[in-house]
Amino acid sequence: MKSKQLPNRILLSEREIPKKWYNIAADLEEKPRPPLDAETRQPISPDKLSAIFPQRLIEQEVSSKKFIKIPEELLKAYAKWRPTPLVRARGLEELLETPAHIYFKNESVSPAGSHKLNTALAQAYYNKLEGVKRLVTETGAGQWGSALAMACNHFELGCKVYMVRSSYDQKPYRRTMMRMWGAEVSASPSEETRAGREILNQHPDSSGSLGIAISEAVEVAASDAETKYSLGSVLNHVLLHQTIIGEEALKQMDKVEEYPDTIIGCVGGGSNFSGFAFPFIREKLEDKTRAKKLRVIAVEPSACPTLTRGVFAYDYGDTAGLTPLLPMYSLGHDYIPPAIHAGGLRYHGMAPLVSLLVSAGIIQPVAYTQNEVFDAALKFARSEGIIPAPESSHAIRATIDEALRAKSEGKKEVIVFNLSGHGHFDMSAYDDYLQGRLADSTIDEEDLQKYLNQLRHQSFPV
């Protein structure tokens, strides 16, 4: 049994931290469409973006360079917890009695508890370089807010976070975590911004949404010269920073002399999935023999089915329509998904790069209900000992189904998924699940169809 001699945890030394991020846009034949200025319907001018983003990040956003060097100071910050382990999930393999080899990249070991710190530190660093004093952002489940709070603290910047009301109430300890790192936190919709007040006027009990919270944060950044906005997902530069995950994973797979047949990640705005998957997809685009048959699966909640049911169109990134129009799969910018526990996946849109790869057939999307996902989380917690984030558990659900399929077909496949974060702040959700109280929140079909039709019939398709 040679495989038994392989290590469970495949580790890299600090010296092996990748020194470059990978920019997949450089390798795509069909280039992503540019974001459009909502007023003129013309590609957005970089000037307009510079009101809310620093120059270096705007350059990365539109860059066509294949690799971008990671600054020395940032590598030092990454070394606080990177490289992260790649783990062979032997416990899960045994539980499923599958011949498949299952691995997961463990991004839950970051101080903030998820992959989000990879881009939070990068964004704080570039803002600091350009003399910005404070960052403002939104957070859904609280992971992005925590990561940005930690990063701002590291680079001595102020930090203001608009936290989606439903998470603010469900996850008080995420709030505390952000405050421990010195951030200011408000529930969104708030009375502090025009966007927030308008929503509250119409829906005084609004549970909020990422789209609304983005509107509030963008509004604050646009009206204060020393404050810039920071986004935790969706945009090209965010996905770029996350590619350190996949670059490490490639090196780690080399160490065990295996290569994935299937890679899997969960998708909210698409950043952890992309960061993990793009370096592997690069090998596919380069026509490397070993990557020819690679399957790439993106997993989303059935309650917010952006890729499986959405429309590929130009849409706003936020609810109030303050952002440029992005070419992406969307459910409609003012569609408000039901309040599921995987708050980080509760977003109406999707990264334009992910959207493009889905429409090109390179990425395969699937969707699961909340109870299917929590069942997978329980199996993973009991076989691997790690309590996963509900978001990450979407990837676990798909991994389990793939491993069971491999079993029924008698195939020794290699399946690798990204464990984007831990679920230590999601105990009330897991408690509901254990007590059988977890509902499979269903979408209001009529409502959804209304928004999808609006997207289908708008005058500026992708």
From residue 298 to residue 337, what is the string marking binding to ligand PLP with x (rule CB under 6 A)? ----------------------------------------
| Cα dihedral: 259, 353, 117, 397 (round 10) | -50
User: Which residues ranging from 256 to 295 are in contact with ligand PLP (CB under 6 A)?
Assistant: 266-273
Q: Which of 143, 167, 323, 399 binds ligand PLP (CB under 6 A)?
A: 143
Closest distance of CB 335 from ligand PLP, Å = 17
CB 403 within 8 A of CB 439: no
Q: Which of 21, 144, 162, 168 binds ligand PLP (CB under 6 A)?
A: 144
Q: Looking at beta carbons only, is 80 or 412 nearer to ligand PLP? A: 80
Which residues are registered as beta bridge partners of 137? Answer: 161
Q: Looking at beta carbons only, is 98 or 167 nearer to ligand PLP? A: 167
Query: In the numeric block, which tokens belong to residue 432?
Result: 């509901």
190: closest CA among 171, 173, 170, 168?
168
Closest distance of CB 140 from ligand PLP, Å = 7
Q: Point out which span in 192-200, 215-223, 355-363, 385-393 binds ligand PLP (CB under 6 A).
A: 385-393
Instruction: Please state the separation of Cα 36 from the chain's center in Å.
Output: 23
Q: Looking at beta carbons only, is 85 or 344 nearer to ligand PLP? A: 344
Q: Looking at beta carbons only, is 273 or 433 nearer to ligand PLP? A: 273
Q: Looking at beta carbons only, is 123 or 143 nearer to ligand PLP? A: 143
Q: With helix as H, strand as E and coil as C, how does 26-62 read? A: HHCCCCCCCCECCCCCCECCHHHHHCCCCHHHHHHHH
Closest distance of CB 190 from ligand PLP, Å = 21
Query: In the numeric block, which tokens belong to residue 322?
Result: 């303050």
Q: Looking at beta carbons only, is 269 or 305 nearer to ligand PLP? A: 269
Closest distance of CB 297 from ligand PLP, Å = 14
CB 128 within 8 A of CB 154: no
Q: DSSP characters for 73-86?
A: HHHHHHTTTPSPPE
At residue 105, the 3 state secondary structure works out as: strand
What letter does residue 187 receive in the DSSP assignment?
E
Q: Looking at beta carbons only, is 196 or 421 nearer to ligand PLP? A: 421
Q: Looking at beta carbons only, is 101 or 241 nearer to ligand PLP? A: 241
Q: Please, what's the b/e burial string for 444-460 (b: 16 or more CB within 10 A of its CB; e: otherwise)? A: eeeebeebbebbeeeee
Q: Which of 391, 401, 402, 426 binds ligand PLP (CB under 6 A)?
A: 391
Q: With helix as H, strand as E and coil as C, how does 109-174 read? A: HCCCCECCHHHHHHHHHHHHHCCCCEEEEEECCCHHHHHHHHHHHHCCCEEEEEEEHHHHHHCHHH
Closest distance of CB 368 from ligand PLP, Å = 14
Closest distance of CB 346 from ligand PLP, Å = 9
Residue least distant from ligand PLP (Cβ) = 421
Instruction: Please state the separation of Cα 305 from the chain's center in Å.
Output: 15
Burial of 319 (0-12, 13-18, 19+ CB in 10 A): buried
From residue 330 to residue 359, what is the string marking binding to ligand PLP with x (rule CB under 6 A)? --------------xx--------------
Residue type, 52: I
Q: Which of 170, 233, 243, 306 binds ligand PLP (CB under 6 A)?
A: 233
User: Which residues ranging from 398 to 427 are in contact with ligand PLP (CB under 6 A)?
Assistant: 420-421
Helix axes 352-359, 271-285, angle to 10 degrees: 50
- Residues in the interface with ligand PLP (CB under 6 A) total 20
Q: DSSP characters for 336-371?
A: -----S-GGG--S---HHHHHHHHTTSSEEEEE-HH
Closest distance of CB 290 from ligand PLP, Å = 26
Closest distance of CB 322 from ligand PLP, Å = 20
Closest distance of CB 13 from ligand PLP, Å = 26
From residue 100 to residue 119, what is the string marking binding to ligand PLP with x (rule CB under 6 A)? --------------x-x---
Closest distance of CB 289 from ligand PLP, Å = 30
Q: Looking at beta carbons only, is 259 or 425 nearer to ligand PLP? A: 425
User: Which residues ranging from 66 to 105 are in contact with ligand PLP (CB under 6 A)?
Assistant: none
Q: 54-60: list long-range contacts, CB under 8 Å, 24+ apart.
A: 54/126, 54/127, 54/129, 54/130, 54/132, 54/228, 55/130, 56/126, 56/129, 56/130, 57/123, 57/126, 57/127, 57/237, 60/23, 60/236, 60/237, 60/240
Site residues, ligand PLP (CB under 6 A): 114, 116, 143-144, 233, 266-273, 344-345, 389, 391-392, 420-421
